[in-house]
Amino acid sequence: MQLHGRDDDIKLLRRKLRELTKKKDGDDEDAIKSHVGEMILVSGTSGTGKSALIQKGLGDHAASHGYIFASGKLEDKFHRPLSAFSDAMTCLAKYITVEHNKMGKLSLGGPSISTLIRNKIQNEFDEEDVDQLRRVLPGCKELLETRRHSLCYQSSQSDASELLGTRRHSLPSSQAGAAVLIRSGSGSKLGGVKGRVSLTLAGRESIAQMHYAVRRFLKIVCSQLKGAVVLFIDDLQWSDTATLDLLKSIVLDGEIPSLLIVGAYREDEVPDHHPLAFNIRELEQTNVAITKIRIGNLSVDYAIPIVAEALGMDDDDSKVKSLAETIHRKTEGNPFFIVMFLMSLYDEKLLEYNFGAMKWTWDDDAVNSKIVTENVVSVLVNKMGRLQEETQRMLMVASCLGSNFRKSALVEVMKNISQAEMRSSMRKVPSTAATIRSFPESLLSLDLSNSCTEEEYASSIEEFEEEGLCEVDDEECRFMHDEIQSAAFELISPEQRDSFRGRIGSILLRSLSPEELEASLFEVVGLLNCAATNITDEERDELAELNLKAGIKASENAAFDTAKVYFKAGREALGSRGWEGDYSTMLDLCSDGANACFVTGDIDTMNELIDEVLSKDIDTKEKYRVSEIKVKSLLIAGKANESINAALDFRRQLGLPAPQKKAASKFTIIREYIRVKKLLKDKTAEDIANLPELDDELYEMGQRMNEHLATSVYRVEPTMLPLVIFSMVTTSLKHGLSPSSTVAFAALALLLCGRFGKPHEGREMAKAAELILERPGMRRSTSNTIFVTHTFCYHWTSPLQDNIAPLLKGYQAGLEFGDNAFACWCLLGRCYRLFFIGRSLYSIQKELEATIPVLAQLKQDDSKLNIVPLLMTVKKLRGIDAEAGDKILDSLLATAAHNGDFLLSSYVNLMKLEVFVLFQEWEEALELVRKAGNIRQLSPSTATSVRYTFLEALTYLKAAQSSSGWKKRQIKKCAHKTMRLIQGWAKNGNVNVVHYLYILEAELAVLHRKKKKAKESFNAAIATSSRNGFLHDRALAHELASAYFKAQRDEYWGNYHVECSRACYQEWGCSKKVEQLNVQLNVTRC
């Protein structure tokens, strides 16, 4: 049947697709990336034809126009996380591995597209990433079958794992074995061994890690395909939070070529407070281009051709028009209702085919008098009441299996459910419900046995299809519309629905193999939970373990909202009995449930679960998980002091040493440092990295608590930080290495380079941290470690330019492991280093303008705020929005002062000082230095503090040159003090400060009127900055030299140096400074 009344909408859909295809066919990479932030949303009420519109506009158009259309549909009766997205990706993978390979072989017998994709995944993904993708996207297993995996994973599992039509595949044998444990009711813990510390990601990090892995996978797939890819997700009003967050992450990604996300939802079921509505608003606020198509009911002009086409008659026929007008009036033009109304006329013999006249006939008065309910479900229930008795029973069961189901699953349930159960579950129609006809008496008085044959089941399924209720494709079946499934569900008595679904779940639990149960776990558990009130204690234990397994599986898919539902159902199944006897299941349900609540922001429930576990008389180690959640949640809530107390208390309960919560004295810090130094002895980085692995749970827990402690004490009691770091290092050296050890040795390197002034020893510890990362299972803190080593350590002994690439690697590692915070801090550090090394201002501005949206997308407000001062400064130096930039910097400084944000104030003051020095505004620079305080103490051991120290010393020297008397002596004293710091750094091998020192020595010689020394130092400063690539500092050295020579009335060298300075500033892209120097040289600007 044609789609009437939607021509403009179809044209819009196809136009959007053509635009996307042109971008992929074009050569302009920027044009390809301009597609970032586009999606199409189609809304309307039920039955208006949203899915049909998208199928007609895009799906039917795909094969003939060289693109791929893949779809998935959400359901409201099952908590199956990421189900629609997973189904759409399964559809895409099937096309690639089957259809596309038929016609998509590369020329000259080259490898197939699927082979190219597998090879790319082999090269770019590690096995941990691939395993995660297999869990989230089980239908893509053929594309994810890497060579490494094929050695250990048997891909010959039966397709029977798709018994319920969920398109899910079984997991590796180790996980399938867990399903056996569930079915045996043994009470064994699922997902791990009782009491063991889990080092896998289990929070917001796991969500970010999963999103990044899926986006990388999509990038590989889309880049290998010739045409565009359309992913259609239907019924978004029923979406789980995990699906919405993943779709948002994909839409915001800037590197997935030619992918179009299309969604459909019922607008009347998405109020303003609905999660989908929140996500749409958030996308719009981030400048995502959302094409919204709203479709409503059809006008009578479009109802006429629908009726005419259905009857095979001319739409100009007056009787057809009259019938269509009557139907339109009764259905209000809802397309689905129009079709269902016509079918009901036929079923009730109000519409009949006259073989003599060879056309359809009807009685207008009878049609006009037909009562129409407001609910199309009632019409469908009436229709179903006229079907074969066995067909009605099968529809009841099918409605509980989902919108998509398999014939084998349906038949399996029918074989195991008695007719007595069917009879008791049938809906008894109240006398007032005239619109729903009662079932035949014969249906309610059948024999209790179930004696149907395979042929009778097949006959009923054929009737599904003949009546237009279901579409049957071999083994796969699907309801033609959600309303049909709802009507079939209405056949079940409201009082018996829960028990009926529970019975179906029980049959499936009994009949499915372990692999099939694993694949259909969410559906089976969802059905069983419906009847959780009237079961035995043994069944409750089994149901609790099933819910625990489902919750863990949902958590592994980063669907914590869904996981929370299963964990709660498991706790309710056990009730007060949960803590009696073998309490391991209840402990896991509470611990994992608390984590799911923490991630989803349900703090009240989280605290209740934490308190419940902590109040029990159980082993302290079994309280670790909730204790860690408590520590993290307090820190995130801004209660750093309480977080510290909780972490210290837990370490004491474990019997591990814990420092007092108070400011640490210098004596205590030195004493602990000496102890660590004795343990280190003459160990090299390689010696440390080759230490044995930590295998003691107690110390492993203690190390994790120390990690959280380090973050907390840094905020409120920084003098305690060295003690925490020394504790972590000591444990690593005495008891073995763990992922926490990378953080420990990186932090030790920070202390050695900063507080203790031993950069070479610090470099060795930084190297040790990075070598530990290379060991199996130690990569969790990769981004954190790279950030610390390359922000605080390596710049003391290596060229600053060498930090640029590793910090980008740290960003990528952070995305890979879900550590978005440190990923973004790596980006921040990289951008500031680009400025410090004198990269062109234009390229820095482009970099910043690309970086800030990334920080916003990843919701890292701290790093986003701290990068703004750099952007404002770069734009001002280029002559762009200088006045507005100054206002923003002043506002940021006020915000930093109000919030006590020393890091933000450090960046703002540094950038303001850069401008003052650059434009020779020495009085303003001196005032800023006096107000800013000791930035070296606020931001120790960083390249930022080094740069600030240089500018501070230069400011003092220039101020001293224009001062006299007591004031001059005081300023000279400050200058000498800061210069001694830089001299010490240079002496210890800091190659990045050598030209700083020459500039300062030149200005000091000017102050002391040592002409020869001044000339030599200026020349050395210019030569060194030029040789090391510091273009902006070379420009500054030339300008300062020019000022000196002009003061000596040496116009030749004065003009020479100012010309050189202008050329350097011009090459750097500092337009504002070039204008200033042009005025000095009386050069007319071109």
pLDDT at 177: 30
Say what the pLDDT of residue 103 is: 54
User: What tens digit of pLDDT does each residue of 567-599 get?
Assistant: 999 999 999 889 988 899 999 999 999 999 999
DSSP states of 520-584 as a string? THHHHHHHHHTTTTS--HHHHHHHHHHHHHHHHHHHHTT-HHHHHHHHHHHHHHHGGGGGSSS-H
The amino acid at residue 1081 is L
Predicted confidence band at 101 (pLDDT cuts at 50, 70, 90)? Answer: low
Instruction: Answer whether residue 189 shows pLDDT above 80.
Output: no
pLDDT score of 426 = 78
485 to each of 55, 84, 156, 166, how far by Cα in Å?
20, 17, 34, 16
* pLDDT score at 24: 60
- Which range is least confidently modeled, 169-173, 213-217, 895-899? 169-173
Can you tell me which residue has the tokens 């045996």? 184
- Quick check: 183 pLDDT over 60? no
pLDDT > 60? residue 448: no
Report the range out of 15-19, 354-358, 1041-1045 with the highest average pLDDT: 1041-1045
The first and second tokens of residue 215, run together, are 């986006």
Residue range 44-95, pLDDT digits in tens: 999 999 999 999 999 988 878 888 999 999 988 777 889 999 999 999 998 8
- Across-strand partners of 234? 73
In 3D, which of 595, 557, 592 has the Cα closest to residue 81?
557
Task: Give the burial class of 635: count Cβ atoms within 10 A of its Cβ; 0-12 exposed, 13-18 middle, 19 or more buried.
Answer: buried
Q: pLDDT value at position 451?
A: 56
Here the tokens at position 722 are 């060295």
Among 658, 816, 660, CA closest to 731: 658
Torsional sign, CA 737, 743, 749, 755? negative
In this predicted structure, the answer to whether residue 125 has a pLDDT above a threshold of 90 is no
Q: pLDDT tens digits, residue range 824-859?
A: 999 999 999 999 999 999 999 999 998 998 888 888
Could you list the beta-strand ranges (E) of 707-766. Answer: none
Share of the chain above pLDDT 90, in %: 57
478 SS3 class: strand
Give the model's pLDDT for residue 428: 60
SS3 at position 333: coil
The answer to whether 877 and 911 have CB atoms below 8 angstroms apart is no
Per-residue pLDDT for 883 more than 80? yes
CA distance 1037 to 1021: 6
How many Cα atoms sit within 13 Å of 952 on the Cβ side? Answer: 28
- Write down the mean pLDDT value for the chain: 86
For residues 861 and 881, the answer to whether their CB atoms sit within 8 Å is no
End-to-end CA distance of the chain: 69
How far is it, in rounded angstroms, from Cα 783 to Cα 820? Answer: 9
pLDDT of the residue at 286: 77
- Give the model confidence (pLDDT) of 456-475 as tens digits: 888 888 888 888 889 888 88
Quick one: average pLDDT of 443-451?
44
Q: What does the alpha-carbon distance between residue 283 and residue 277 come to, in Å, rounded to a whole number?
A: 10
Least confident range from 22-26, 58-62, 277-281, 428-432: namely: 428-432
Q: What is the pLDDT of residues 516-575, one digit of tens each?
A: 888 889 999 999 999 998 889 999 999 999 999 999 999 988 899 999 999 999 999 999
- Predicted confidence band at 865 (pLDDT cuts at 50, 70, 90)? very high
Specify the pairing of strand 470-473 against strand 359-362. unpaired
Under the banding of pLDDT at 50, 70 and 90, the label for residue 186 is very low
pLDDT above 60: residue 787: yes
Tell me how far apart the alpha carbons of residues 970 and 959 are, in angstroms, rounded to a whole number. Answer: 11
Task: Inform me whether the pLDDT recorded for 994 exceeds 80.
Answer: yes
pLDDT score of 750: 92
Q: How confident is the model at residue 102 (pLDDT cuts 50, 70, 90)?
A: low
Question: What is the per-residue burial (b if ≥16 Cβ within 10 Å, else e) of 821-844?
Answer: bbbbbbbbbbbbbbbbbbbebeeb
The Cβ of residue 107 has, within 10 Å, a number of other Cβ atoms equal to 5
Task: Output b/e per residue, 534-556; b: 16+ Cβ within 10 A.
Answer: ebeeebbbbbbbbbbbbbbbbbb
Decide: helix, strand or coil at residue 737.
strand
